[in-house]
Amino acid sequence: MWRGPRPPILDGMSETADKSQNTAAFYGQAVASFAVAMAATAIGIFKLHADAWVRAFLGIAVLYLVTSAFTLAKVIRDRQDGTRRAYNPFEKL
């Protein structure tokens, strides 16, 4: 029986897969989209025909919404990373 090194295709089958990385284009598009959305919202609030306190309230509300969305995305990502199971091809589903 041959006792050489394991073939590379079988190495790491019981380990979790590496994290996939986003491409630079996808990252750039996401950053640009976020910047355009924030700029459009800021311009819309600035040009709104309302009292200054109303515009200030809307601006703070938008900032609160953005920070809570980032926090929620991080919590969901961390929870998924924590519950990710190891790959086992012989496990019954």
Distance CA 58, CA 40 (A): 13
Decide: residue 45, CB within 10 A, 0-12 exposed, 13-18 middle, 19+ buried.
middle
CB 62 within 8 A of CB 39: no
pTM passes above 0.75? no
What length is written for the chain? 93
pLDDT tens digits, 1-50: 666 666 555 555 555 555 678 899 999 999 999 999 999 999 999 999 99
Q: What are phi and psi for residue 55, nearest 5 degrees?
A: -65, -40
Question: Which sequence spans correspond to the domains of the chain?
Answer: 24-83
CB 36 within 8 A of CB 53: no
Residue appearing with tokens 């938008």: 62
Task: From residue 53, give the alpha-carbon distance in Å to each of 32, 38, 43, 61.
Answer: 29, 20, 16, 12
